[in-house]
């Protein structure tokens, strides 16, 4: 490793790798420093007894023609280096046995909702028109302005202080339509009554118009495409290299401390846990709460019943209640569950005649019992919940492994195993991508726009542009 770079990037999650790859392509000397033994952060894949699983992901957004992820991959010239399969249907919502195939286009969604509640056609149309208007306005507004600029007007100004429940209340009464419209609240980790109407609308519309995608062969292939772009453009990736501190001189970030020495850099991009960054840079800690975490059970199945690519199971139409008691019981009476079949679209992810599946449930870091003591017991409970969604799944299990919020924290350093950085509540207060220290920039899901692969890739692009401008080299086009 050299001791001087234009830019040092801390963390090789999708946020950090995107920033590093963009900067390397623009000709800057870049070192991406990763604490773990593999790149990707939450965007990784592992193999056990012939079964391959993504550590975390269900579906990624942003691969539609105008999506941020696709735009960034195009900019890097690596659009063809990753194969994506569009989910069709986008997901299956299973409300205690009442199954709804949710499509990944708006016209099909409108037809579906009309069919559910023919008496509410006007409300459905007006809701989706409003959400489309919010989405279009949001896409042309810088994320920090969107959430933090005080004087913002128009549809954004109208809904920025509102929860998603307040938005739905204006238009829809049908419990089932509301349930379908709330089926992805877990993707932002908050119930309809707490999640930001803006953040939820953006996420919902991104998946509902651009589609949801599975990365063929596993999430690691998305990560690997970014790593390849970084290396082929002369950038460096250093694994097993935790950064212990940020070097600050005269109020400017000018490098990092790693085991055995220092690395100097014209600018530093921090793309990992926010609390640690506050500690390292001596800046003010955030006031927001970390987002929810998850408990996962990875299953290898033989002779399994048919399992869709992506299914959400809910005990009824009341999505709000599925957030009750998450700290106490991941499979309690109100619990919901995501069931993700990796090998239906990527058969190589399981041996012949077998299936690779992940069960995923919202979970709090501070659980009623220490996670390491109850993880097996909770797996049994989650499996019995999965049995309600997919009868026969339990008896087809031939392999099982679990991961808890502690696992997520251990492998990525995210505070309390937060899945999406800070909680995306009404204020959606995040760390500014331009920190208070000159020369230090932020990428990843603790900054704007927020959690999810598409969002962190967009944050990486923004951080790269700011860092490049700061070290005063080449202007970006």
Ligand X SMILES: Cc1cc2nc3c(=O)[nH]c(=O)nc-3n(C[C@H](O)[C@H](O)[C@H](O)COP(=O)(O)OP(=O)(O)OC[C@H]3O[C@@H](n4cnc5c(N)ncnc54)[C@H](O)[C@@H]3O)c2cc1C
Residue numbers at the binding site for ligand X (CB under 6 A): 10-16, 33-36, 41-43, 56-60, 242-243, 271-273, 276, 294, 360, 408, 412-414, 419-420, 444-445, 451-453, 456
Q: Which is nearer to ligand X, 266 or 405 (CB)?
A: 405
Q: Which is nearer to ligand X, 43 or 155 (CB)?
A: 43
Element containing residue 440 per DSSP (H, E): strand 440-442
Q: Which is nearer to ligand X, 113 or 456 (CB)?
A: 456
Q: Which is nearer to ligand X, 171 or 314 (CB)?
A: 314
What's the CA gap between 130 and 137, in Å, rounded?
Answer: 11
Tokens read off for 432: 């500014």
What's the CA gap between 414 and 276, in Å, rounded?
Answer: 9
Q: Which is nearer to ligand X, 181 or 360 (CB)?
A: 360
Tokens read off for 210: 């651009």
- Beta strand extents in 281-387 (DSSP E only): 293-302, 310-314, 337-341, 354-363
Q: Which residue has the tokens 């935790």?
A: 242
263, 315, 320 from 105: Cα distances, Å: 48, 26, 25
CA angle 382, 384, 390 (to 5 degrees): 100
Question: Min. distance of Cβ 128 from ligand X in angstroms?
Answer: 22
Q: Which is nearer to ligand X, 396 or 435 (CB)?
A: 435
Instruction: Give the residue from 231, 256, 252 showing the smallest Cα distance to 243.
Output: 256
Question: Min. distance of Cβ 15 from ligand X in angstroms?
Answer: 3
Instruction: Give the residue from 152, 187, 250 showing the smallest Cα distance to 56.
Output: 187
Question: Min. distance of Cβ 447 from ligand X in angstroms?
Answer: 8
Q: Which is nearer to ligand X, 290 or 444 (CB)?
A: 444
Question: Min. distance of Cβ 353 from ligand X in angstroms?
Answer: 27
Question: Min. distance of Cβ 18 from ligand X in angstroms?
Answer: 8
Question: Min. distance of Cβ 296 from ligand X in angstroms?
Answer: 6
Beta pairing class for 310-314 and 440-442? unpaired
Question: Min. distance of Cβ 273 from ligand X in angstroms?
Answer: 6
Question: Min. distance of Cβ 358 from ligand X in angstroms?
Answer: 9
Q: What is the DSSP string of 139-171?
A: HTS-HHHHHH-TT--HHHHHHTT-BHHHHHHTT
Q: Which is nearer to ligand X, 177 or 408 (CB)?
A: 408
What's the CA gap between 409 and 415, in Å, rounded?
Answer: 6
Q: Which is nearer to ligand X, 242 or 332 (CB)?
A: 242
Question: Min. distance of Cβ 236 from ligand X in angstroms?
Answer: 14
Per-residue three-class SS string for 392-425: CCHHHEEEEEEECHHHHHHHHCCHHHCCCCECCE
Beta pairing class for 310-314 and 91-95? parallel
């Amino acid at each position: 490793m050299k001791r001087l770079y234009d830019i040092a990037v801390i963390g090789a999650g999708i946020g950090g790798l995107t920033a590093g790859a963009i900067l390397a392509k623009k000709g800057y000397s870049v070192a991406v420093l990763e604490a773990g033994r593999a790149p990707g952060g939450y965007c990784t894949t592992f193999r056990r007894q012939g079964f391959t699983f993504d550590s975390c992901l269900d579906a990624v957004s942003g691969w539609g023609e105008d999506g941020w992820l696709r735009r960034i991959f195009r900019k890097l010239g690596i659009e063809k280096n990753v194969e994506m399969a569009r989910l069709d249907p986008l997901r299956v919502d299973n409300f205690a046995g009442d199954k709804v195939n949710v499509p990944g286009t708006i016209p099909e969604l409108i037809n579906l909702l009309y069919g559910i509640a023919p008496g509410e056609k006007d409300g459905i149309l007006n809701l989706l028109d409003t959400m489309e208007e919010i989405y279009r306005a949001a896409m042309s507004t810088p994320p920090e302005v969107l959430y933090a600029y005080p004087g913002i007007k128009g549809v954004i100004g109208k809904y920025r202080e509102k929860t998603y429940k307040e938005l739905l209340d204006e238009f829809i009464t049908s419990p089932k339509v509301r349930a379908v419209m709330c089926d992805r609240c877990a993707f932002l980790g908050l119930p309809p009554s707490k999640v930001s109407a803006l953040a939820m609308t953006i996420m919902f519309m991104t998946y509902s118009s651009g589609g949801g995608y599975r990365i063929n062969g596993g999430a690691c292939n998305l990560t690997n495409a970014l790593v390849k772009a970084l290396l082929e453009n002369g950038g460096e990736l250093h694994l097993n290299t935790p950064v212990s501190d940020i070097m600050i001189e005269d109020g400017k970030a000018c490098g990092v401390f790693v085991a055995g020495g220092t690395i100097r850099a014209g600018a530093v991009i921090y793309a990992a846990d926010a609390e640690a960054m506050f500690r390292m840079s001596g800046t003010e800690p955030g006031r927001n709460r970390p987002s929810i975490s998850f408990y996962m059970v990875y299953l290898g199945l033989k002779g399994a019943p048919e399992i869709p690519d992506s299914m959400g199971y809910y005990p009824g139409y009341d999505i709000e209640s599925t957030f009750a008691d998450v700290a106490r019981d991941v499979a309690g009476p109100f619990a919901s569950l995501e069931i993700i079949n990796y090998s239906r679209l990527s058969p190589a992810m399981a041996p012949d005649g077998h299936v690779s599946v992940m069960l995923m449930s919202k979970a709090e870091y501070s659980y009623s019992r220490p996670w390491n003591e109850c993880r097996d017991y909770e797996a049994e409970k989650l499996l019995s919940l999965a049995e309600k969604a997919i009868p026969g799944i339990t008896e087809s299990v031939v392999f099982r492994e679990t991961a808890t919020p502690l696992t997520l924290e251990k492998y990525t350093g995210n505070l309390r195993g937060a899945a999406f950085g800070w909680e995306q509540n009404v204020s959606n207060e995040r760390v500014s991508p331009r920190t208070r220290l000159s020369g230090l920039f932020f990428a990843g899901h603790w900054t704007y726009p927020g959690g999810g692969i598409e969002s962190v890739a967009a944050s990486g692009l923004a951080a790269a542009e700011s860092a490049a401008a700061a070290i005063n080299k080449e202007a970006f086009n």
